[in-house]
Amino acid sequence: MSNLLNHPWLNNPYLLTIGLLTASNVFMSFAWYAHLKDMSQKPWIVAALISWGIALFEYLLQVPANRIGYTTMSLGQLKILQEIISLSVFVPFAVLYMKEPFKLDYLWAGLCILAAAYFIFRDKL
């Protein structure tokens, strides 16, 4: 167990924040969008309650991720990092799970977010 606690991910606030935010975004994608595919015939209140249940796990990862990240990053940096991760998780979710076609617009949006990342993190480069 002590080897696990000494793992580099747990001792690096950047890596830990990225890992937790990535996992939280997986839950977020399912909470926000999976009901469109899986519960389209159910009343919206059922979808909302199930989505809230899934979103609880998102928040159990997202809140500590932001608290850890805020020890080394600014609020703006955390937000842009969240958007990078969100798009990185959303595109495979949309294509693989929701069976949406891949669009070049995802690539263009990703390039815009990379530009935003450059500007928000350039003082750390």
Strand blocks (E) in 40-89? none
CA distances from 112 to 55, 107, 108, 122 (A): 27, 9, 6, 15
In this structure, which amino acid lies at residue 122? R
Q: What angle do CA 17, 19, 23 make, to 5 degrees?
A: 115
List the chain pLDDT tens, one digit each, 125 residues: 556 567 676 789 999 999 999 999 999 999 999 999 989 899 999 999 999 999 999 999 999 999 999 999 999 999 999 999 999 999 999 999 999 999 999 889 889 988 988 998 888 76
Give burial (CB, 10 Å; 0-12/13-18/19+) of 108: exposed
- Give me the pLDDT at residue 5, please: 61
- 3-state class of 9 per DSSP? helix
What are phi and psi for residue 82, nearest 5 degrees? Answer: -60, -40
- Give me the pLDDT at residue 34, please: 93
Give the number of domains in the chain.
1
Domain hosting 110: range is: 2-124
pTM: 0.84
